[in-house]
A and B are shown apart, each in its own frame.
With several copies, the nearest count.
Chain A
Amino acid sequence: MPDTSKIVSVKDAVAAIRSGDRIMVGSFGNAGYPENLVETMTASDLKDLTIISNDLGSPGIGLGKFLANGQIKALIGNYYNWNPDVARAYNAGEIDVCLVPQGSFAEAIRAAGVGIAAFFTPTAAGTVLGKDKETRDFNGRPHVLEHAIHADVALIKAYKADELGNLVYYKTARNFNPLMAMAATLTIAEVDDIVPVGSLDPECVVTPHLFVNMIIKKGEK
């Protein structure tokens, strides 16, 4: 193991997060959701969080706990129909919600990770979700300008990490995780297993270690 290990306790990892932070959380439904990190955060005093995620789980379940706990200031994501608490809180003026079409959302997170400031996509041009966005024709078709979506912290769920922080994922639990791993100032990966350096096939590493700042092992305190 290298002398600067990234492996930390979930408590130390969460101690690096501040109230008011913009937090990306990987997952699609409950697939690829960093359970320990979220559990620990929802048991903390952290508040005024902006949660950037595909959805917000179900009422009181998964990411839904953040909302049930009143820890959320704003949401950036694309699909909250699985958790009707979101529409309720939004209508009551308790939280802000910014809806971005799922493909544009994924691409905007990637853009932040790879240093692209903004991009033109045909998705949503002319619709309610595109109406406040700069619109321009390319090849005779309207496109909207979508800006990169950054975060202070990304909470990632991976299947395995090696001791350097190289990550691989598990089936459709991959989803937004590799994108968010690139797009935050601090990336914390929760993994099922930590394996020795050299155990992962270099051709199959999905997230190279340079994107990962901290690793916690699922189920450990």
Chain B
Amino acid sequence: MKEIVPGDIARARIARRIASEFMGRDRTMIINLGVGIPTMVANFIRSDRIFIQAENGMMGVGPKAAEGEADSRLINAGREPVTETPGCSYFDSAASFGMIRGGHVDATVIGAFEVDQTGNIANWIIPNGRQLGVGGAMDLVSGAKQVVVAMRHNGSDGRPKLVKACSLPITGFHEADFVITELGVFRFIEGVLTLQEIAPEIDLTRLTELTEAPFVAAADIKVMDS
């Protein structure tokens, strides 16, 4: 199947759209970024009001460390060497998850295998005997004030990832607030999956075909920045 939006462009579009979501808010934002597309969100943030928390014990994570300046003791939760920002701080893992569980992190950006129409998220395991790990996924989706799912609209086999009901083990129930793919910006508004923006490459009919979960289009639906 030919991709409507090529992978590199899709990933950058998703990350950029999420960054602009946060930059559009008129207040300080504390955000936590998962591995993959979520980590790329940092590349598009231009704001001194947005601070990145890493669950392995850092507030104020800076850009990835340059080649030759990496310190294996200064890493993000994806084990990548990072840098400090002015005003950063370090703490232990219980304090870090205290911030998350206590509702002090404004948003977590995570990848997902599936999100269903009730906002359930499956992103921690594909039961195939090869994975054995949950990390902070369950703490993050249940603790962060907002959960922003950053994912490709369809799997590599074309299968929709926005589904009626998750088939994989659930990470958190009814926790998704935003689902941002390369084809659309979806938001759960009072529990209803609502399309707020649509990619310029497609129309509503085509998007509906590519999406298993039923959704409504917002009255003021916009075209997503390409």
Binding site for B on A (CB under 8 A): 2-4, 28-32, 54-55, 78-82, 84, 86-87, 90-91, 97, 99-104, 106-107, 109-110, 112-116, 121-129, 162-164, 166, 169-179, 182, 197-198, 200, 202-203, 205-206, 208-211
Of residues 31 through 52 on chain B, the ones whose CB sits less than 8 Å from some CB of chain A are: 48-49, 51
Contacts of B100 in A (CB 8 A): 103, 115
Other-chain residue from B30, B54, B131, B172 in contact with A172 (beta carbon distance below 8 A): B54
- Distance in angstroms between the alpha carbons of A196 and B78 in the assembled complex: 31
- Distance in angstroms between the alpha carbons of A118 and B102 in the assembled complex: 13
Contacts of A102 in B (CB 8 A): 55, 93, 97, 134-136, 139
Report the contact-size class of chain B (Cβ under 8 Å from the partner): 35 or more
Among residues of A, the one whose C-beta sits closest to the C-beta of B130 is A87
Contacts of B134 in A (CB 8 A): 78-79, 99-102, 129
Would you call B164 an interface residue if the criterion is a C-beta within 8 Å of the partner chain's C-beta atoms?
A: no
Among residues of B, the one whose C-beta sits closest to the C-beta of A114 is B98
Assuming the contacts A122-B142, A172-B58, asked whether A87 and B88 have C-beta atoms less than 8 A apart, the reply is no
Would you call B158 an interface residue if the criterion is a C-beta within 8 Å of the partner chain's C-beta atoms?
A: no
Of residues 73 through 111 on chain B, the ones whose CB sits less than 8 Å from some CB of chain A are: 73-77, 79, 84, 86-105
- Distance in angstroms between the alpha carbons of A47 and B94 in the assembled complex: 29
A197 touches B87 (CB 8 A): yes
Among residues of A, the one whose C-beta sits closest to the C-beta of B80 is A29
Minimal beta-carbon separation of A53 from chain B (angstroms): 11
Contacts of B97 in A (CB 8 A): 102-104, 106-107, 114
Assuming the contacts A123-B142, A126-B170, A172-B56, asked whether A3 and B101 have C-beta atoms less than 8 A apart, the reply is no
Would you call B129 an interface residue if the criterion is a C-beta within 8 Å of the partner chain's C-beta atoms?
A: yes
Would you call B72 an interface residue if the criterion is a C-beta within 8 Å of the partner chain's C-beta atoms?
A: yes
Among residues of A, the one whose C-beta sits closest to the C-beta of B71 is A171
- Distance in angstroms between the alpha carbons of A80 and B96 in the assembled complex: 20
Which of A101, A129, A176 has the largest count of B CB atoms less than 10 A from its CB? A101
Q: Can you list 9 A-B contacts (CB < 8 A)? A: A28-B56, A80-B133, A112-B102, A114-B94, A114-B99, A115-B103, A123-B101, A125-B142, A175-B57
A174 touches B91 (CB 8 A): yes
A99 touches B84 (CB 8 A): no
Minimal beta-carbon separation of B203 from chain A (angstroms): 37
- Distance in angstroms between the alpha carbons of A125 and B142 in the assembled complex: 9
Assuming the contacts A110-B94, A121-B101, A182-B102, asked whether A162 and B138 have C-beta atoms less than 8 A apart, the reply is no
Which of A2, A103, A209 has the largest count of B CB atoms less than 10 A from its CB? A103
A128 touches B169 (CB 8 A): yes
Contacts of B130 in A (CB 8 A): 84, 87
B73 touches A202 (CB 8 A): no
A202 touches B89 (CB 8 A): yes
B73 touches A31 (CB 8 A): yes
Minimal beta-carbon separation of B8 from chain A (angstroms): 24
A198 touches B73 (CB 8 A): no
B79 touches A82 (CB 8 A): yes
Among residues of B, the one whose C-beta sits closest to the C-beta of A167 is B89
Contacts of A55 in B (CB 8 A): 133
Minimal beta-carbon separation of A145 from chain B (angstroms): 15
Assuming the contacts A91-B129, A126-B170, asked whether A179 and B138 have C-beta atoms less than 8 A apart, the reply is no
Minimal beta-carbon separation of A28 from chain B (angstroms): 5
B98 touches A29 (CB 8 A): no
B135 touches A78 (CB 8 A): yes
Other-chain residue from B79, B87, B92, B135 in contact with A166 (beta carbon distance below 8 A): B87
18 more contacts with CB within 8 A, not counting A99-B133, A104-B97, A171-B73, are: A3-B49, A4-B28, A31-B56, A87-B130, A87-B131, A90-B132, A101-B134, A106-B92, A114-B99, A116-B101, A121-B101, A124-B138, A127-B172, A129-B134, A175-B92, A177-B92, A182-B98, A210-B105
